[in-house]
């Protein structure tokens, strides 16, 4: 719940401290970026997905497999890729992971009320399927031109990025068979991912037109579930996350290696996808990699096999196996108390100190930390948010009735900023004066 605005007064710990505010402002003029959490941030975790399914036209038992391999279907003719279709897409083998986020995170709110701090998924791979070649760690994205150069050479690298995207559905499928409300046709572990063509596909945000684009064939061009006329040319798609692990680029990937996919919330469409998914009560991701293989299960080219939750159980469980996991750090917009910059649940001197400390910086997520007005930076306007809400919330019992004093900067730091401070003091003295006094000219 947002704090109730109190009458404008000068708090007792600011009286007689005009110089200290000016010093703090001057000292913090150099911009920086502050990584911070919103006051009411919570962390929700899932130890395994509710749905993990392998997307491959010729795959069997897609929702009850032990592994979900990922590989590409890239063929070069006359210097260009052969276009992918809705039955033979470029991203040929993929693994889908979906988590029911309800009731851990309340569903049904307006999507804009979900404040997302971070979201990351993990997944573990088994061996790379080859006795003579190893999978090689590649932590960086590749462009369409990079893939064309590799495949045209006839020797594509075994170092390919592990890419994570959102999930879209075609036809009558309206979403996952998860969440509090499930109307219409839904995708479950019993659903075969092809019905005349693929019914689920990886998506990325469309930075030019908004919405989401099917990236099943972005490398080669060809069929697209989202393009006009269902046809697209080749284009670069930025993954929402690239799998990282504790290896150096170019090192061999050992068996049972866990990759972490930390989603970039600033990419087009990512944050809104997560917000809408939480409102629906379920979220899913498509894991893809464009490793080369002559034919699934044959040839000597290695490709990753992602462990599904079924690898942990059954007659022959994989020793040391771990299912995919999910972690979301979030808050609800109406849970944040205006001016409570340190997240204590009470607006007091410590929040003022937080504002001074972060003054002049930008925050990773707008509206977090001391960014009281949600414009992405900590400036003078955020002071007014704090000032107007002093006393909001519930004070910690140990500090009820306590008084505070604002410490003054001392020593070399004070000498270094004194000249700048002088220019601030008169203005700050006016700024923090009660509004009534300003109107009366006193």
pLDDT band at 31 (very low <50, low <70, confident <90, very high): very low
Mean pLDDT of 415-441: 46
Answer whether 440's CB lies under 8 Å from 41's CB: no
Average pLDDT for 256-270 = 97
> Which one has a higher pLDDT value, 422 or 1?
422
User: For the chain, which domains are there?
Assistant: 18-38+337-440 (1.10.1330.10), 42-330 (no CATH)
In this predicted structure, the answer to whether residue 353 has a pLDDT above a threshold of 60 is yes
* Higher-confidence position of 383 and 411: 383
Give backbone dihedrals phi and psi of 216, rounded to 5 degrees, phi first. -55, -35
Would the pLDDT of 40 be above 90? no
Mean per-residue pLDDT of the chain: 82
Model confidence at 11, pLDDT cuts 50, 70, 90, reads: very low
What pLDDT does residue 195 have? 94
Select from 304, 404, 245, 335 the least CA-distant residue to 93. Answer: 304
Q: Which helix (H) or strand (E) holds 100?
A: strand 91-100
| pLDDT band at residue 298 under the 50/70/90 scheme | low
**Phi and psi at residue 353, in whole multiples of 5°?**
-60, -40
pLDDT digits (tens, 9 = 90+) for 149-207: 999 998 899 999 999 999 999 989 999 999 998 889 999 999 999 999 999 999 999 98
* pLDDT value of position 39: 54
- Between β-strands 241-242 and 76-77, what pairing exists: parallel, antiparallel or unpaired? unpaired
Per-residue pLDDT at 64: 84
Q: How far apart are the first and last CA of the chain?
A: 36
**Structure-block tokens of residue 192:** 């075969």
* pLDDT above 70 for 435: no
DSSP secondary structure letter of residue 163: E
What token pair was written down for 372? Answer: 């009281």
Nearest alpha carbon to residue 363 among 34, 31, 29, 32? 34
Nearest one of 52, 74, 53 to 62, comparing CA atoms: 53
pLDDT at 277: 98
Distance of CA 322 to the CA centre of its chain: 22
Q: What is the percentage of the chain residues whose pLDDT exceeds 70?
A: 77
Tens of pLDDT, residues 200-227 = 999 999 988 889 999 999 999 999 999 9
pLDDT in tens, 124-134: 998 766 667 88
- Alpha-carbon distance of 288 to 280, in angstroms, equals 24
How far is the C-alpha of 322 from the C-alpha of 52, rounded, in Å? 13
Pairing mode of beta strands 212-214, 222-223: unpaired
Higher pLDDT, 331 or 60: 331
Average pLDDT of 135-156?
95
pLDDT class of 388 with cuts at 50, 70, 90: confident
- Phi, psi of 88, rounded to the nearest 5 degrees: -130, 70
Find out whether 290 and 165 touch, Cβ atoms under 8 Å: no
pLDDT for residue 384: 87
Write the CA distances from 348 to 8, 11, 40, integer angstroms.
Answer: 14, 9, 16
pLDDT per position as a tens digit, 74-120: 999 999 999 999 999 999 999 999 999 999 999 999 999 999 999 99
- Pull the structure tokens for residue 170: 């075609």
Instruction: Say if residues 360 and 34 touch (Cβ distance below 8 Å).
Output: no
In whole angstroms, how far apart are CA 100 and each of 25, 249, 263, 281, 326? 46, 34, 18, 6, 10
Q: Give tens-digit pLDDT for 55-70.
A: 999 987 777 889 999 9
pLDDT band per the 50, 70, 90 thresholds, residue 299: low
Q: Name which of 74, 154, 130 is nearest 299 in CA terms.
A: 130
What is the β-pairing status of strands 51-55 and 91-100?
antiparallel
CB 12 within 8 A of CB 403: yes
- For residues 347-358, average pLDDT: 89
């Amino acid at each position: 719940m947002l704090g109730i605005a109190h009458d404008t007064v000068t708090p007792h710990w600011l009286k007689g401290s005009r110089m200290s505010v000016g010093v703090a402002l001057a000292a913090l003029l150099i911009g920086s970026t502050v990584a911070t959490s919103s006051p009411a941030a919570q962390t929700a975790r899932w130890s395994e997905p509710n749905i993990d399914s392998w997307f491959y036209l010729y795959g069997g038992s897609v929702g009850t497999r032990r592994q979900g391999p990922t590989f590409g279907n890239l063929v070069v003719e006359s210097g260009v890729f052969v276009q992918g279709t809705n039955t033979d897409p470029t991203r040929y083998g993929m693994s889908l992971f979906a988590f029911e986020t309800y009731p851990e995170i309340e569903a049904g709110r307006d999507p804009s009320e979900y404040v997302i701090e971070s979201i990351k998924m993990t997944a573990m791979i088994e061996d790379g399927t080859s006795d003579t070649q190893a999978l090689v760690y590649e932590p960086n994205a590749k462009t369409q031109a990079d893939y064309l150069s590799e495949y045209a050479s006839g020797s594509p690298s075994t170092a390919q990025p592990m890419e994570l995207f959102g999930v879209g559905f075609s036809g009558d499928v309206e979403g996952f068979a998860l969440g509090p409300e499930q109307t219409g046709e839904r995708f479950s572990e019993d659903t075969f991912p092809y019905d005349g063509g693929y019914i689920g596909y990886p998506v990325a945000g469309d930075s030019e037109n908004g919405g989401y684009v099917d990236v099943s064939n972005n490398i080669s061009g060809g069929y697209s579930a989202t393009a006009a006329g269902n046809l697209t040319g080749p284009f670069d798609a930025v993954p929402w996350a690239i799998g990282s692990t504790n290896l150096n680029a170019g090192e061999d990937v050992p068996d049972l290696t866990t990759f972490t996919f930390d989603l970039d919330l600033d990419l087009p469409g990512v944050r809104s996808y997560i917000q809408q998914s939480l409102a629906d009560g379920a979220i899913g991701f498509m894991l893809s990699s464009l490793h080369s293989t002559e034919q699934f299960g044959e040839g000597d080219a290695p490709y990753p096999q992602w462990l599904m939750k079924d690898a942990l159980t059954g007659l022959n469980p994989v020793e040391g196996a771990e299912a995919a996991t999910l972690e979301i750090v979030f808050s609800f917009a109406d849970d944040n108390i205006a001016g409570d910059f340190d997240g204590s649940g009470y607006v007091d001197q410590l929040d003022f100190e937080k504002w001074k400390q972060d003054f002049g910086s930008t925050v990773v997520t707008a509206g977090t930390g001391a960014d009281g007005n949600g414009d992405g930076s900590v400036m003078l306007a955020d002071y007014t948010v704090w000032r107007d809400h002093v006393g909001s919330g519930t004070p910690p019992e140990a500090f009820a009735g306590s008084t505070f004093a604002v410490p003054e900067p001392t020593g070399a730091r004070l000498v270094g900023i004194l000249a700048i401070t002088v220019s601030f003091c008169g203005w700050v003295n006016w700024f923090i004066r009660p509004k009534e006094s300003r109107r009366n000219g006193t």
